[in-house]
Structure 1
Amino acid sequence: MIGYYAHHQGAGHLTRMRGIAAALDQPVWGLSSAAPPPGWEGGWTTLARDDDPHPGALADRDPTAHGVLHWAPTHHEGLARRSAQIARWAAEERPSALVVDVSVEVTLLARLCGVPTVVVAMPGRRDDRPHRLAYDTADALLAPWPRGAHDLHWPDRWFAKAWFVGAISRFDHRSLPDPVPAAHPGRTVLVLWGAGGHSTTAAQVEQARAATPDWTWVERSPGRGASGDLWADLQAADVVVTHGGQNAVAEVAAARRPAVVVAQPRPHDEQVATARRVDDWRIAVGCASWPSPREWPELLDRALARGGQRWSRWSTGDGAARAAAHLDRLAGDLVPGAGS
């Protein structure tokens, strides 16, 4: 059995877990502070939260352990309980490996329990001390993006154990249909937000809408959809304006849509790195922040000109299957409980 830890922030970690789990040849046990996703059939451990009360209220409890970790506040009951849950799970279930998506602390705790770890590598600069510790101790690094996208500053020791599988989307392997007639006259922009929140305001979107009178703007976010079918919404859009989260970008890539990728503030400039790379590779238009109203007409036209076919460099359509194949091989090489 393979374990999979999915961070509760946003929806991307859980979505990626479901895609990889469905492609694996062996059972998967999920661990998260979030509830199991609908239809989950494997084992599940709902972990205690380590961020209650609000993280700001815990700032004086040395949460970084003098700069060595990202989040381990002292004297926190939830942190103690979740650590005990993970250790107990490792002892009782004896997993062959744990995929960590993502947490430096879970990576280290699992390894201290003798569980081999596969760390999901993230965009942005990850050369801080905690990330180096997690990446160095991992048995493998799972990179859900193409080689060269976010690894330009990696040391050789990380390359040696990295699996570059490309984007992982729930829409992988879907056949691209004939163009869907837009529900609005003229050209359509689909604005795609995620569950992780965004700093762009409704007023900023309205200003962009006003600056492009020949375009119809439609927004979609968790709980607020253009329709009940994201795939159809993507296909109906002439241009998708999306935040730079990995999951959203993967789904736009799978749909091969012209896009403007606008980074939202995240630690380690995660989304800025993605927006910069898709722009450098001329896959889509990338912006480090929400553009001014006067920039939008040209940005949409440039996205249309670039088209959507270059997304094939980012998304091969079998990212989850490739990740699962690596995990199956790794698990086959590991014998839980072996050693002195």
Structure 2
Amino acid sequence: MIGYYVHHQGRGHLHRAVCVAAHVRGPVTILSSLPRPRSWTGGWMSLPPDIDGAPDDPTARGRLHWAPVRHDGHRERLGMIAEWVRRVNPDLFVSDVSVEVATLVRLMGTPVVVAAMRGDRGDEAHRLAYDLADALLAPWPRSLPEPGWPAHWYAKTVHTGSISRYDGRPRPAVGDGPSRREVVLMLGAGGADVTERQVEEAMRATPGWSWTRLGGPTAGWTDDPWPVLCRADVVVTHAGQNAVAECAAARTATVVLPQDRPHGEQAATARALRTAGLATVRDTWPVPRAWPALLAEAAARPDRWRQWSPGDGARTAGRLLTELCLRRPGRSACVPR
């Protein structure tokens, strides 16, 4: 049995967990405060939220990321996780992603895999989680490593390439295209730094393009954007791991505009994409007059997405988790290949 903690921010952590679990040779239970997907048939534990109210000393004087004092939801949440670990005694636990959950489970004697993220992870809390992990799961290619990591982190890191729910899905047949080229603005569910006015100005500045909007504060949520991504001439998106993975799986030309995130995560991903020439990257939202040339530049860029998205990232991650489970002598619920 594998326990798999899924963070509530956005939908990318959940999409990744479901993809990876499909390639594990054994049972997986997801623990999260997100709604359970209708398609998920494995175990599920619904956790209470712990982000309400005014938190008191949530970083424990800079040693952790989220441990607010006397917060009922936080105490209940960690208590439920601890009780599940005590009762189930899992072979392995994956944290995607919480320093506090990884530390709690490892303190209980269960091996832990931490889903790594780009950016500056040199703070005390991240060092603790990455140091205690039995393995680090990095959903980017080994050829584009995150600079500055200590050698002992690299020694236990498995680089899978990006992991997308669309890996291996055939592209839909393309009919007669529209008279105008299509651009898709995909902001997702993880929060957006872009204003409605900025989007409208970009649309007015590009009369030769037809815009479709996915996610963000004013556009509707789309459970399956695959057909829209595949028919687009260009996708404009942020630099979250899941958004980039889905664009890469679609092999669609992409403009990446990193948003401000803790530890510079999206900025670091954007730097890697720019270094490899995989996407057209701008550090900030462009001014209106820059949009026509920007979209033309992106549309003309050769497709090199395979370096980022080999198509077997979830399979590689599932194989790692299965192998770690099988290290438990005598009683692992995982099955050898």
Superposed CA deviations along residues 113-168 of structure 1, whole A, max 9, x for unmatched, are: 11110000012111111101100000000001112435211100000000100100
Which SS does the other structure have where 1:206 is aligned?
A: helix
> Structure 1 residue 224: deviation in Å?
4.2
Task: State the Cα distance separating 1:39 from its structure 2 match.
Answer: 2.1
Identity of aligned residues (%): 50
Asked if the contact 1:32/1:46 (under 8 Å) is kept, the reply is yes
Secondary structure of 1:23's aligned partner: coil
Tell me the SS of whatever aligns to 2:326.
Answer: helix
For 1:1-340, what aligned pairs fall within 5 Å after superposition?
1-53=1-53, 57-58=54-55, 61-177=56-172, 179-182=174-177, 184-221=178-215, 224=219, 229-307=224-302, 309-335=303-329
C-alpha separation in 2, matches of 1:120 and 1:276: 20
The offset of 1:18, in angstroms, is 0.6
Question: What amino acid sits opposite 1:24 in the alignment?
Answer: V
Is residue 218–residue 226 contact of structure 1 (8 Å, CA) maintained in 2? Answer: no
Q: Structure 1 residues 245, 227: closer, same or farther in 2, change over 3 A?
A: closer
Q: Return the letter of the residue paired with 2:307.
A: R
Once the two structures are superposed, residues 192-234 of structure 1 have per-residue CA deviations (whole angstroms, 9 ceiling, x without a partner) of 1111110101111111112222111111117945977522111
CA RMSD of aligned residues (A): 1.9
Give the distance between the partners of 2:119 and 2:330, measured in 1 at CA: 33
Task: Name the aligned partner's letter for residue 194 of structure 2.
Answer: T
Structure 2: 5+ residue runs without aligned partners?
333-337
C-alpha change, 1:74 and 1:226, in structure 2 (3 Å) is: closer
Tell whether the 8 Å contact from 1:181 to 1:236 is kept in structure 2 after alignment: no
CA contact (8 A) 2:172 2:227 kept: no
TM-aligned CA distance change 1:119 to 1:323, over 3 Å: same
Q: Per-residue CA shift, 1:80-133, capped at 9, x if unaligned?
A: 111211111111111111110000000000001111100000121111111011
- The 1:8–1:226 alpha-carbon spacing in structure 2 relative to 1, beyond 3 Å, is closer
Tell me which amino acid in the other structure corresponds to 1:206: E
For the residues of structure 1 that align with 2:223 and 2:20, how far apart are their CA atoms? 24
Q: Which runs of 4+ in 1 moved over 3 A?
A: 176-182, 222-229, 335-338
- CA deviations 1:276-320 (Å, max 9, x no partner) are 22122111111222111121122111111213x201000001110
Where 1:191 maps in the other structure, the secondary structure is strand
Q: Tell me the distance in 2 between the aligned counterparts of 1:227 and 1:87.
A: 35
Partner SS, residue 203 of structure 1: helix
- The count of corresponding residues between Structure 1 and Structure 2 is 331
Q: 1:253 to 1:52 in 2, by over 3 A?
A: same
What residue identity is the alignment partner of 2:208?
D
Contact 1:243 1:264 in 2 (8 A): yes
Give the aligned residue type for 1:44: W
For 2:59 and 2:299, locate their aligned partners in 1 and report how far apart those are by CA, in whole Å.
45
Change in Cα spacing, 1:154 to 1:334, as seen in structure 2 (3 Å) is same
Q: Which amino acid aligns with 2:86?
A: A
State the shift of 1:34 in Å.
Answer: 1.7
Q: Point out the more displaced range, 173-182 or 75-84.
A: 173-182
2:162–2:310 CA contact under 8 A, matched in 1: yes
Between 185-194 and 156-165, report the one with greater CA deviation: 185-194
TM (norm. structure 2) is 0.93
CA-CA distance at 1:181 after TM superposition: 3.6
CA distance in 1, matches of 2:330, 2:287: 55
Letter of the 2:94 counterpart = V
SS at match of 2:144: coil
Q: 1:91 to 1:50 in 2, by over 3 A?
A: same
Please give the TM-score of this superposition, normalised by the length of structure 1: 0.93
